[in-house]
Structure 1
Amino acid sequence: MQANSLSLSKAVLIAGPTASGKSALALELAQKTGGIVINTDSMQVYRDLRIITARPTVEEEARAPHRLYGHVDASVNFSAGAWVADAAKVLAEARAEKRLAVFIGGSGLYFKALTRGLSAVPPIPPDVREAVRARLERDGVEALHTELARRDPVSAERLKPRDRTRIARALEVVEATGRTLPDWHQEGLPPLLPRSEFTALFLAPERDQLYARIDARFDAMLTAGALDEVAALAARNLDPLLPAMKAHGVPVLIHYLRSEITREEAAEIGRADTRHYAKRQFTWFRHQLPEFEWVKPEAARGWLEARTA
């Protein structure tokens, strides 16, 4: 790839911690190049959660084509594999229209699936998933971890004994397929974007500056209607283990709506949880996706201009 030229057959990947300015940068690039903004965030796929997940506004979406935002119902246990299948269709659309594909988000697993490939685990039938979740509620996570240690000792050894979501997932795979997750992981699917077909940056603001933005944004979400959004979601009485029910801010605001904590306590917990998540994002990308070039927000536009000129 030329240092000053990026073919539209390639894709641009913009990652970074929450509240780092990714969306604005992706929108600016898409407008400049006539590109398509493709969501690569595991929570922004849910139509129920526009405000609390900081999805682009309707006005922003009108300024350039946006794909894979709010296209999944909160009742769906959406996966990285399902996202890759959707992303493949959008990437084909972008290439057919000779548009630059701009993947943007903060979900490291989605970016890893996009650029490294996925294991070949088939979809889990809903009845199997529901049966395992029912046993989890009835018998407790310790009992399921004990069962997992018998049926998939490798996964059980890797997982913390109280990791409800991952223990349930590992058992679902054994129940549905008769094979363990480590066994399936040996049969990988190829990446949607091989290394030669993308350029990637990770927005890396100063921590103090980022944390201040996170705090201000969470408060702004509350003012903008996040409570009403979460109240509507809570009224659906969905499985609390569903991904949408665990989006940052959702569980704590449900506690507030049930009068279990004060609004200020909920806000403080929500801000702190989001800061901790941002910290984990830094660590994950540093260790899992070293091909992403770390760029300060103030230098990102110049970095992209040098590659899209």
Structure 2
Amino acid sequence: MVKHGSSASKTRTRAKAAQSGLSYQQQLTRTTAPSTAGHTSAPPLKPAQLIGFCGHSDPHLTQMVAENIGAAWAAQGRRVLVFRHTRHPDAPIWPRRARTDGPTAVRLFEEPQPLRATDGPGALDACTLRVEHRRYDDIRNVTSATLDSVKAGYDHVLLVSKDLQPLPDLAEVYVALPVDDELPTGEERWVIDAGRRTLRTFPYDAGQSAVIWRDRLLRLMNVDWWPLAGLIVMASPRPVPTAPWRFVRAVEDHMRASGTPILGRLPRVQLGLPHAALPLPVLDKPNSRISKQLCSAADALHQALPFLEK
């Protein structure tokens, strides 16, 4: 039975006590005692916002971005849970017939634990749910019930997939992490000019380019019916031709007007082994370029979320 993050809360308090040289009880008293301004160290929580992160290239990279955005928010005093979702490794992808001699979905759940101790009222925790893949409805119901049991006590729950299987549609809003593609500036077509076949270039305006570019970025992500807060564009491993910056700015303005703003751009990140701990440059290298880019994306994403406030 899940204990609403109690284990994570205790572990986090012990880590802060070790940092400050206090006993567990002293740190617990400091955290819960009223401040001199007459209010507690943490404001009352609103219902947690469920935010899904979708990427189509590397699930570990998607998870790294989500954890760093969570770290940026935790440093600002918010309580964040990174909810990792994965299909059970021994389960078939899409069986022709579901089993009838047992449950169609099996839950293996690791309770929330701190990813990193943070100063102040903020928190950055993570948990993992492994679901045996049988039917989508069962997966969705099991995941929803697990989320309901742990999301109390958090401001934001960030849903990420640990494999290439799509997330069940449970989030209030989603963030897409596509790999950068060439910004279209025009097209070449064969035409008949003065009786001769001629290859001509027809330039796009910013609005036309935005429509085609959005389709290129999202064509493999199956998010057409999901509400998008915006896109965090990952650098491509291959060289991508660049367009004039004024044209790029105009295209991004059209993307914003059409409901899919570019929240940020990130360089290509080389991750270690699949089972190694993912880097947290937001906390470990706060002055690095990628840390500043991740923090900027976190701020832009948070600004896109006020309509979710309850």
Alignment TM-score > 0.5, same fold: no
TM-score normalized by the length of structure 2: 0.28
Larger Rg: 2
Q: Which has the higher contact order (CA 8 A, sep 6+)?
A: 1
More strand by share: 2
More helix by share: 1
TM-score normalized by the length of structure 1: 0.28
